[in-house]
Structure 1
């Protein structure tokens, strides 16, 4: 059967690359019933019911067999007609099926295009769409639960509620613009400032919850710095719970950055072990030291390792002088088992100090707790939804506009404009005021088939 379809029909392999028991191909477009008939050899699928069938090539030979599911739009994931072919998970078979779909008029889907169509067809808002990839990429159970909450609309519901409250307040304020001689008295009588204070309180609560969700999603980047042979690689192994870095008594063993992701109370922590910082003529070691400083620039926290028997040496002071001022640092006095010290947390010049032994792991849990404290994680993962940097930025901007509105409420035109800007900032989160170029960036980070 020779069929031709609109160029808007898209197809992709929706399962992960490689061999598997089941492979899924997803197709989305308009009026796909003829498509389903062609690939199933004339079987008419019942909507939203699995149909067991062979999948046929153009010459009538079977490519594979399995289940065909047909979801007529708008009652589908994308809002269009959707077909799913669930066959065997061999890469060659899936490529043959995908080629057949293309021959029938579909084109290969771009990354995130199915979810983008769901967003454009009002099946979900932008925050929910982003939570799809967050759920796939979740690094912990708590992060997965937070992503699912966002996908089901918990985060969006909070944003929509504040937007509705802002719209109501804007209607009240803008109604007074036609009667300037009575505007202030009217706003006082309507308790406009009280309504605004309530919105700001709600925004602060959402901001705190979103911040916790962003920590769960993004984690933090921790860089280990210090002189050679102070135990950076040993601490890396202690934090990771595995021998991920080579440990010897030879100074300069680590010549490049070694990265490992660990989970501390469901928070992903990206730990970077670095070359010991010292003057050296070794070309390879010099390159490693340059990479150390590059890693420092990108880090969220620096762990400054010190040999507990020697304390802060002139070389350590030189390292501290080069650390960026904005970078929080934790002093880690290692080798307390050799120095005769006890594991504890202290403070010096406003910086936390942790005494531990990377060799015996004594005090390592104290360090983990201090790291979570530094980034403000309160362990409230069950109640959070995952948030992204752009969400936090939009919430922050909305808060700034509401602060101006609070201070300028008697200047009614300014008051009204700041409320409008706050509403627009919040609406960016759900995609009501989102530029197309931003949508392109967001969905390009999705995997193909989603």
Structure 2
């Protein structure tokens, strides 16, 4: 993270992605940039108006002609003075403009320096233009891999998630006020908590937290996506299933066992949820060193998967060797009475299976990767396995740290209810649980956030953001 002492430095950066483009932007932010802007462009700029003009170099010759926009503080993205130069998007042109900014600054703005990753958005947060959840939504919107994820990130950026957090905070603060009043004025012998229905308020707050947590879990799925591993014996149709789900020939398909020796990855989407699908090597004993390495990697991916498609071959049902290997794999994958809910049995080659094979003992999804039969049912089963519900427009993007904060708040509220319901209510411990709950909640929007966490968050942004 940028040291606090450097937050007062003016900063500059190329704010558009590397490479060629129609338009590129150089952005400068800091306090007192008016003199610098005039020295750089040779004229004063009207606030929040677009100016078409040349961008001169040290000899007065135009580096390029483009648009200049001037945003005096505090009416800017960062809350500081901001100058934006929009030029043609060639990397050389933008580097020349950035170098010219640093050159001019030597005389009128000597502390101007290159921005660090995420520093523009970090300043927006520090200057109360965005809270921390909104600042994170900026990066999530840029990184969104589906339309649903982008819309949800936009909702978080507009403050939808923060509004939910503030509603919880206000209810929690009111409850703390009642408890603190009871602790501060015991001689009044007024049961503030009973008359104010503190227990009812606490129970209602728990319900509200549970509702926000459910929404946040959906948002986290949109942001992170779901890692799905396709596993099974050789030649059960794993690569064909990956191709069918992706709608493209991504993996080589042959009747030769061991064709897939390493992982093949593809990201698809179902109902706007990103699915990172991984086709793995067939699971079997092998003397081939390369294939053994692929199988070892397959098991590593299986252990880390959010959902596992255990693929079976209907055309080989009844074959003694195949069934023995299936039973062994089922045991290793955690099948049986204590099976993990994340494992979905998929019975492939329904189009080629003998009559009567599909029936008892085929619990799961029956499909044909070749014809597409059963793919819609498989997609629904995948979303159900990871807890996805049809996303209403109200879903907002969320991160794992948001889920952890909400879960911590829920745990503190549970403990607070225990202290309140004790035969002799321990109000001081009740008050402490409520305080800790508010602190956990405040970490979402940045009201109670360690500096090292801020550094981790903003360091993952791109330079110009």
Normalized against structure 2, the TM-score is what?
Answer: 0.91
Q: What's the counterpart of residue 10 of structure 1?
A: 11
Note closer, same or farther for the CA distance 1:199–1:337 as it changes in structure 2 (3 Å cut).
Answer: same
Aligned to 1:22: 23
Question: Aligned Cα RMSD in Å?
Answer: 2.1
Q: Tell me the distance in 1 between the aligned counterparts of 2:7 and 2:134.
A: 28
| 1:34-433 equivalent positions in 2, closer than 5 A | 34-40=35-41, 42-105=42-105, 106-180=112-186, 185-311=191-317, 313-323=323-333, 328-340=342-354, 353-409=364-420, 410-433=425-448
Q: CA deviation at 1:103?
A: 2.1
2: CA distance, partners of 1:254 / 1:277: 11
CA distance in 1: counterparts of 2:399 and 2:297, whole angstroms? 28
Indicate if the aligned counterparts of 1:309 and 1:339 stay in contact, CA closer than 8 A.
Answer: yes
Aligned-residue offset at 1:310: 2.7
Instruction: Identify if the C-alpha distance between structure 1 residues 227 and 30 changes in structure 2 by more than 3 Å, giving closer, same or farther.
Output: same
Q: For this pair of structures, how many residues does the alignment match?
A: 442
**1:49 and 1:346, CA in 2 relative to 1: closer, same or farther beyond 3 A?**
farther
What is the CA–CA distance in structure 1 between the aligned matches of 2:405 and 2:68, rounded to whole Å? 42
**Separation in 1 of the partners of 2:228 and 2:401?**
22
Deviation digits for residues 187-212 of structure 1, max 9, x if unmatched?
11121111111211111111111111
Q: Distance in 1 between matches of 2:153 and 2:360?
A: 36
| 2: CA distance, partners of 1:149 / 1:162 | 18
For residues 17 and 381 of structure 1, do their structure 2 counterparts lie closer, same or farther at Cα, with a shift above 3 Å needed?
Answer: farther
Query: Which whole-Å CA distance do the structure 2 matches of 1:64 and 1:28 have between them?
Result: 21
Deviation at 1:396? 0.5
- Using the size of structure 1 for normalisation, the TM-score is 0.94
Residues 347 and 270 of structure 1, relative CA distance in 2, 3 Å threshold: farther
Q: What is the distance in 1 between the residues matched to 2:193 and 2:294?
A: 64
CA offset at residue 133 of structure 1? 0.9
SS at match of 1:238: helix
- For structure 2, the residue ranges without an aligned partner over 5 or more in a row are 1-5, 106-111
Secondary structure at 1:304's aligned position in 2?
strand
Consecutive unaligned residues of structure 1, counting only runs of 5 or more, are none
Per-residue CA shift, 1:355-376, capped at 9, x if unaligned? Answer: 1111111001110000011111
Tell me the residue number matched to 2:108: none
Render the CA deviation track for 1:48-98: whole Å, top value 9, x for unaligned. Answer: 001111112223222111011010111110011101000001111011111
Kindly provide the CA deviation profile for residues 325-371 of structure 1, in whole angstroms up to 9, marking residues without a partner as x.
757201111111111469999997xxx61111111110011100000
